[in-house]
Amino acid sequence: MTFTQLSAREIAQKVQAGELKVSDMLEASLAQIRAVDGDFGSLDGQPTDPETDKKVHAFISLTEELAHAQAQAVEAKVAKGENAGLLAGVPVSIKDIFALENTVTTAASRMLNNYRAPYTATAVQKLIDAGALIVGKVNLDEFTFGSSNESSAYQPASNNPWNTTYVPGGSSGGSAAAVAAEETPLSLGTDTGGSIRQPAAFCGVVGLKPSYGRVSRYGLIAFASSLDCPGPLARNVEDAALILQVMAGVDERDESSATLPVPNYLEALQQDVRGMRIGLSPDYAGIAYPNHATGEFEVIPVQEEIKQATLDAAEQLARQGAEIVEKVPMPHTRYGIPVYFVVSRIEAASNLNRMDGVKYGYTVADARDLQDLYTRTRTEGFGLQPKLRILMGAYLSAASKKVNYYQLASQVRGMIRQDFELAFDPKGAYQLDALLTPTTPTTAFKRAEIFGDSVLMQYADQMTVSVNHAGLPAITVPAGLDKKNLPIGIQFIANHFQEETILRAAYAYEQSTLDAAWRKVRPMALQEVNA
Amino acid sequence: MQLEKISPEAFEKIVDMAAFALEAEEKAYLLEELNHQLQSVQELLDIPLEESSSSSLINIPRVGDMPRRDEWQAFDVPRGIIERAPQHEDGMILVPEPAGGKDLS
């Protein structure tokens, strides 16, 4: 096993015990990036590598100098016999939507190409304080607006390490690709409608969306403020618990952070699933998708292999003593995407109003007047997908409209939340501890296959988005490979602030499948590296 | 029920409101996609809303005090923020005059 195949927990333990030099770990991570990543994403990027289509392209920038300084600080602590932190010496990549002081923070947009953050996001600072080495910023859909990474203004966009002609998902696609390609064992992402879980599922890694309020949003460039949630991507459940332990907790700089105490997530993994009630819902068997041509809604069933993997996982957990509760009704799940179209677009349009060429980021030269500055800056600075989201938000929130779409969507959002409240009600008909669902309706799709069809692309999030509407925690874990050798993900959802519950269930499933044949298969991008 | 569609005129208004100047090809793509999204959104109009369904703001549980009192706090290095503005001078952000030289203050 090479250093880059070690888990974050193993790295931190070996570093603390003096068995692994932090500088060696950092060099191994940087060497892996050089070996598999190829050209980093850049504005108007032209590939310089003839093998560029076979590369991962997870990164936009490296922060090597910072990582070396952090490595020295950790080594000094270890040498003095001090506790170097839960993430001592662990290389971590950061989605380029988080502020990192004096580092270019682009949101994968021309609009912020030259923006150097004046402060560091709380979630990132907590990682640094726990001994992590921040090795660089990874690619994403522009301003997180997408599910494939293709909308990034920084090209080449990330590829899926399992097959580089497929997308890694999005918007945290660079994070998922970096973790799957063993460039960093952990990555920090964000999830507004499924942006951690969908790419994690597509790339065969673990992705955890904490409860809204569990992790501070301070320093995160906002997309939809009532939905955004920072969270980790990792190669196993224990590492996801480890990094959540570090990041979770109240932050006086984020008024929406929860003041609840943070449980010991690593200890929670030691509890088994005996007696845990895990639900399956027929409302996660397919997606209801509007056909533009007919005007009718069509139900497209979940890919058969994903459905089977979900049922197999239920069986595995039942064998370990969990009680499987079938036919749990979640009737408002199908409205998750229409609600998301309203809430996320209106909030995004509001948040992006601040990008005007005056306060920071991109601006045009020689503007005739203030309006000319605004218009030319926003026209040149935003890509097509942000423009689409801003226009939808502007249209739906126009005061002249007969329908108050935001209010309507918020009411339906309440009904989506009620579905979960009924399912998790300890005195109700189902009394669930967790709901088990597919993470995505299909495995990863090919590059350029869906990009441009903004509706179909959005409906790929139907299995994940309801969780954001309700503010709940959810985790995706790898559950096999399909016939094309593309990863399958399954999702566990629990009630508010019950992260321990989904970590327990996911860990129990993961441990029960450690010897599965599909776990021995390595991503295509790694087959010639460290074989 | 007749589905609402965004007309080219309404589209031009929101483009103006969003401060964009778009090429014809961009306009065609964006208007088509907006109407596809609006078709999806209008599924919400057919949902019988329950009396009890309140507008949902997510509940953030509180134990003890709020994270902090709702009081203004100065950023440690305000100059660090001002200096990130594309044009600035003496700690002030510079902007061009409004159209026609009108004073908007």
Tell me how many degrees the CA angle A467-A470-A475 measures, rounded to the nearest 5. Answer: 30
**A 396-415 near B (Cβ less than 8 A):** 396, 398, 403, 405, 407-415
The one catalytic residue among A77, A95, A126, A209: A95
Q: What is the rounded CA–CA span in Å between residue A126 and residue A147?
A: 27
Classify burial at A205, counting beta carbons within 10 Å of its beta carbon; exposed 0-12, middle 13-18, buried 19 or more.
buried
The per-residue pLDDT for A504 is 98
A104 and chain B: CB distance < 8 Å anywhere?
no
- Whether the upstream peptide bond of residue A487 has omega within 30° of 0, thus cis, is no
Contact B38 A367 (CB under 8 A): no
Which residue carries 């209801």 as its tokens? A288
Q: pLDDT band at B57, cuts 50/70/90?
A: low
Pairs across A and B, CB distance < 8 A:
202
Q: Is the pLDDT of residue B54 over 70?
A: no
Q: Domain containing B24: what range?
A: 8-46
What is the rounded average pLDDT for all residues in chain A? 96
Does residue B12 sit within a domain?
yes
| Pick from A341, A296, A328, A303: nearest CA to A459 | A341
- With respect to residue B88, please indicate whether it lies within any of the assigned structural domains: no
| Among the partner residues A252, A342, A362, nearest to B67 by beta-carbon distance | A252
Using an 8 Å CB-CB cutoff, list chain B residues near A368: 96, 99
Give the Cα separation of A281 and A334 in Å (integer): 12
Six token digits for residue B21: 């100047």
- pLDDT score of A155: 96
What pLDDT score was predicted for residue A7? 98
Nearest CA in chain A to B86: A360
Is A57 a residue whose pLDDT tops 80? yes
Q: At a CB cut-off of 8 Å and minimum separation 6, what does A368 contact?
A: B96, B99
Nearest CA in chain A to B103: A370
User: Can you tell me the distance from the alpha carbon of A374 to that of A11, in angstroms, rounded to the nearest whole number?
Assistant: 48
Considering the entire predicted model, what is its pTM?
Answer: 0.96
- Name the catalytic one among A109, A158, A171, A211: A171
In chain B, positions 60-79, which contact chain A (CB-CB < 8 Å)? 60-68, 70, 75, 77
**Residue B80 contacts A where some CB pair is shorter than 8 Å:** yes
pLDDT at res. B56: 53
**pLDDT tens profile A250-268:** 998 998 899 899 999 999 9
Q: What is the distance between the alpha carbons of residues A310 and A316, in angstroms, rounded to a whole number? A: 10
Q: Inter-chain contact A378–B37, Cβ cutoff 8 Å?
A: no
What is the pLDDT, as a whole number, of residue A46? 76
Q: What is the mean pLDDT of residues A509-525?
A: 97
- Residues of chain A positioned with their CB less than 8 A from the CB of B30: 384, 387-388, 391
CA distance A487 to chain B (A): 29
CA angle A491, A493, A494 (to 5 degrees): 155
- Predicted local distance difference test score (pLDDT) of residue A161: 98
B46-54 — which CB contacts under 8 Å span 24+ positions?
B47/A335, B47/A412, B47/A415, B49/A408, B49/A411, B49/A412, B49/A415, B50/A415, B53/A411, B53/A412, B53/A414, B53/A415, B53/A418, B54/A411, B54/A414
Of A261, A403, A414, the CB nearest to B55: A414
Of B3, B21, B37, the CB nearest to A455: B37
Is B1 among the domain residues? Answer: no
Nearest CA to A247 out of A201, A190, A204 is that of: A190
How many structural domains comprise chain B?
1
Distance CA A195, CA A219 (A): 18
Minimal CA separation from B47 to chain A, in Å: 8
Q: Is A98 left (phi over 0), alpha (psi -120 to 50) or beta?
A: beta
Give the C-alpha distances (Å, rounded to integers) separating B5 from A111, A393, B9.
30, 15, 11
Tell me the chain B residues in contact with residue A410 when contact means C-beta distances shorter than 8 Å.
Answer: 55-57
User: In this structure, is residue B67 part of a structural domain?
Assistant: no
Q: Is A307 one of the catalytic residues? A: no
Does the CA dihedral A95-A499-A315-A466 come out positive or negative?
A: negative
- Residue A327: count other Cβ atoms within 10 Å of its Cβ: 10
Per residue in B72-98, pLDDT (tens digit) is 888 888 888 899 999 999 999 999 988
Does any domain span residue B26?
yes
Scanning A115-134 for CB atoms below 8 A from B yields 115-116, 118-119
Element (H, E) at A280: none
Nearest chain A residue to B66, by CA: A259
Query: Rounded to whole angstroms, how far apart are CA atoms A508 and A273?
Result: 7
CB count within 10 Å of CB B43 equals 18
Cβ pair A411:B53 closer than 8 A: yes
Q: What is the ipTM of this complex?
A: 0.94
Q: Tell me the three state secondary structure of residue A411.
A: helix
Q: Which of A:467-496 have CB within 8 Å of B?
A: 469-471, 496
- In this structure, is residue B34 part of a structural domain? yes
From B86, B95, B47, B41, select the one nearest A339 (Cα to Cα). Answer: B41
| CA separation for the pair A156, A177 (Å, rounded) | 13
Q: Does A296 touch chain B (CB under 8 A)?
A: no
Q: Is residue B24 domain-resident?
A: yes
Per-residue pLDDT, B61:
61
Cβ contacts (< 8 Å) between A411 and chain B: which residues? 49, 53-56
Q: Model confidence at A249, in pLDDT bands (50, 70, 90)?
A: very high
**A95 counts as catalytic:** yes
Assign residue A366 a region: left if phi > 0, alpha if psi is -120 to 50, beta otherwise? left
Residue A460 exposure: Cα atoms within 13 Å on the Cβ side: 25
- pLDDT at A339 (0 to 100): 97
The single-letter DSSP state of residue A412 is H
Terminal CA-to-CA distance of chain A, rounded, Å? Answer: 10
Which pLDDT does position A319 carry in this prediction?
A: 98
Q: Which two tokens stand for residue A59?
A: 């990164």
Q: Strand, coil or helix: what is A474?
A: strand
Q: Which of A327, A291, A30 is nearest to A184 (CA)?
A: A30
A439: which residues sit within 8 A by CB, 6+ positions away? A194, A197, A198, A200, A201, A463, A464, A476, A489, A490, A491
Indicate the DSSP class of residue A24.
H
**Residue, of A122 and B62, whose pLDDT is higher:** A122
Annotated catalytic, A226? no
Among A93, A172, A195, A211, which one carries the catalytic annotation?
A195
For residues A231-241, average pLDDT: 98
CB contact under 8 A, B58 and A471: yes
Closest Cα in chain B, distance from residue A409 (Å): 7
Residue B25 lies in a domain: yes
Q: Which amino acid is at A411?
A: Q
Element containing residue A16 per DSSP (H, E): helix A8-16
Alpha helices in A293-361 (DSSP H): 304-319, 336-352
